[in-house]
A and B are shown apart, each in its own frame.
Chain A
Amino acid sequence: MPTSTITINPVTRIEGHAKITIQLDEKGIAQDARFHVNEFRGFEKFCEGRVLWEMGGITSRICGICPTSHLVTSAKAGDAILSVTIPETAQALRRIITLAQWLQSHALSFFHLSSPDFLLGFDSDPAKRNIFGLIASDKEFAKRGIRLRKFGQEIIEVLGSRRIHTPWAVAGGVREPLEPAKRDYLLNWIPEAKETARLALDTLKKIHVKFEKDIPNYGNFRSLYVGLVAPDGALEYYDGTLRVMDGDGNIIADKVNPSDFHEYFGEATEEWSYLKFPYYKPLGYAKGMYRVGPLARVNICDYIDTPLAEAERKQFKALAGGASVVNNSFYYHYARLIEILFSVEKIEQLLQDPVTMGQNIRAKAMINQLHGIGASEAPRGTLFHDYTVTEDALLSRVDLVIATAQNNLAMNRTVRQLALQYLDGAKVTEGLLNRIEAGIRCFDPCLSCSTHAIGMMPLHVQVVGPENNVLCDVRR
């Protein structure tokens, strides 16, 4: 029987509002832990009655971190409703902006949010353990990270005329083509971006050595992995079909049309979180736990079609030893950096492709289908927008399945594993609790997205013994 509860509130340096509660027995040994997500904004209901054409603008406001992923996915649901094949230039441009979204979001996750733990230390002064502390301790490294995120944002601004909440992608294509001078401006960034990606990877590899003892505790368990792959099995981000791999590397479902998502995946609800719990239907709730995002994508793809990232993927796979799947959530960071490198290489290829510079950017049509599903790989995993419309283009039903939610079961499993490992009846320190939060940061959850909301609160941890005596009191 749990006799007391520790609350970590809010979980910080993640993109959203969450708490962790840890239940302890009378000896102060952790018995269970839960990750609670604490906001809700109701997009699925209030979008009913809105017009299809404004859905990109509204749904990008679900999340300020990956608005472009929502925009593109919404436009893809619109393509399906118009029943059009969009021009190849529009497709190339949407691919670039999708990768730019990965780039800025992954840079944020690594440099701004997670690296303070690794470079300043899990037990360092919490008042300084953030991007400003990093600027004070290693200005050059922090600046590199800031500029890498900036490059991603600059691409989005060049294409969409603003960085956050651009309305540039629409059902049928995009609004503006790319001008040559702007293309050249972006190409000039590539060498620096590649160098920073390299620097990040080298830094992370040193971190792997430094935290050798900690890493095996960071959400190290078998689970399913889900994501899009290209028709030839390559790493995919914009299109493709769904693949499901198990924790031993067996492909248990493949070439699944994203429109058939609901046949394979269900969602459960719990009273203690506003974040739903998606699961793989054939295994049921909660056995059908799966992970999405960088770790899943780099695990499930057969190869990456850019040379530097492919070389890293092979090293990544070697971490699994004899097995073919890397099951440790700590390596989300590694997979994320591999994807940064891939994004830079791929953006360069796409910018150099003459197709990208075409002027035919939009297919126009009326409503030809009353139902359409859009899917793409957002930074944190596969994102689905499922729309039903009337013949007048009014939304009558909206179902959004967000990347982060699909990691909910695995995030809960991770905090539980970390709590059981670190809270063993000894004194609870701020640094120990920060390690548990760091388990969540591996997933880089975007909670504004996943509950379609966001917020925050203070931390006060009290460990209370069986006689109601305070065993430990930590504030920060």
Chain B
Amino acid sequence: MKPKVATIWLGGCSGCHMSFLDLDERLIDLADKIDLVYSPIADVKEFPRDVDVTLVEGAIASFEHEELARLIRRNSRFVVSFGDCAVTGNVTAMRNSLDLDDVLHRSYVELADTTPRVPRDYPTIAELMKQARPLHEYITVDAFIHGCPPTADQIWSAVTELLAGKKPELTHVFLRYG
């Protein structure tokens, strides 16, 4: 059985996922080594039960993210904070010093020409939290890959170690922010 790997986007810009795709031809090697069981680039819609490694991009910014994070934790052996937004909150957390209502008001009321109103049709859309926070404030995280985004080389060496059952070392390469 190949190890089951999942990747997920929470409050981020997808840049970490794009850096994963920057593995380029190494994706072809990876296809032989893993089963990608859940990912925004794949069609399975329900997070599977027994995942070996899950890479989580993005901060926890909405109540939906929190629910997902808990589900991921229950169903994954190894959870990795993948990129600075998951690790520290990063750009997603730049709104934290402001009042959420002001932030929403700016985009949907002040900058609207017609029908100005803040979207609130919950739960069709997710309700935002007042603060966007790092993943490990909500669930136990087993490893961290820093970077905004982490480079493809960083991702490759972390994933290789994870697949070998090892925890990626926090060497200087992995401690690069930004």
Contact = CB atoms under 8 A, between A and B. Distances in A.
A269 interface: yes
B128 A40 contact: yes
A46 B104 CA distance: 11
Contacts of A37: 125
Contacts of B18: 64-65, 164
Given A143-B28, A271-B121, A285-B114, A130 B15 contact: no
A330 B135 CA distance: 39
Contacts of A269: 108-109, 112, 114-119
Contact of A163 (B19, B107, B111, B121): B19
A112 interface: yes
B94 A64 contact: no
Contacts of B152: 163
B175 interface: no
B11 A454 contact: yes
B103 to A, nearest CB: 4
B41 interface: yes
Given A126-B43, A476-B45, A45 B102 contact: yes
B42 interface: yes
Given A41-B92, A45-B102, A269-B119, A19 B124 contact: yes
Contact of B98 (A9, A42, A150, A272): A42
Interface residues of A, number: 76
A217 B31 CA distance: 34
B40 A12 contact: yes
Contacts of A62: 13
A165 B149 contact: yes
A266 B113 CA distance: 5
Interface string A435-476: 000000000000010000111111110000000000000011
Contacts, number: 235
Contacts of B104: 40, 42
B173 to A, nearest CB: 15
Nearest to B97: A46
B51 interface: no
A107 B4 CA distance: 27
B146 interface: no
B113 A64 contact: no
Contact of A45 (B43, B44, B98): B98
A202 interface: no
A195 interface: no
B170 interface: no
A61 B42 contact: no
Given A270-B115, A273-B119, A142 B43 contact: no
A44 B107 contact: yes
Interface stretch (A132-140, A172-180, A251-259, A417-425): A132-140
B44 A139 contact: no
* B: interface residue count bin: 35 or more
Given A130-B39, A281-B113, A63 B21 contact: no
A377 to B, nearest CB: 20
B39 to A, nearest CB: 7
Contact of A12 (B16, B45, B62, B132): B45
A37 B151 CA distance: 28
Contacts of A276: 107-108, 112
Contact of B15 (A21, A164, A284): A164
Contacts of A458: 45-47
Contacts of A9: 45
Contacts of A266: 113-114
Given A130-B41, A146-B28, A448-B14, A454 B21 contact: no
A149 interface: yes
B113 A164 contact: no
Contacts of A32: none
B44 A127 contact: yes
A64, A129, A143, A284 — which one has the most chain B CB atoms within 10 A of its CB? A64
A310 interface: no
B11 A130 contact: no
A213 to B, nearest CB: 23
Contact of A65 (B8, B14, B120, B151): B14
A268 B11 contact: no
The 3 closest A-B pairs by CB, nearest first: A64-B15, A459-B45, A266-B113
Interface of A: 9-10, 12-13, 15-17, 19, 21, 36-42, 44-46, 58, 61-65, 67, 108, 112-113, 126-127, 129-132, 135-136, 139, 142-143, 146-147, 149-150, 153, 162-165, 266-274, 276, 279, 281, 284-285, 399, 434, 448, 453-460, 475-476
30 contacts: A12-B41, A13-B42, A15-B40, A16-B14, A38-B125, A41-B11, A41-B91, A41-B95, A42-B103, A44-B111, A45-B102, A63-B14, A64-B14, A64-B18, A64-B149, A65-B15, A130-B42, A135-B31, A147-B24, A268-B115, A270-B117, A271-B121, A272-B125, A276-B107, A285-B114, A448-B14, A453-B13, A455-B64, A458-B47, A476-B43
Given A12-B43, A164-B149, A457-B64, 14 more contacts: A15-B14, A39-B61, A65-B15, A129-B42, A132-B30, A135-B27, A268-B112, A271-B118, A272-B121, A454-B10, A454-B14, A455-B68, A456-B68, A476-B46
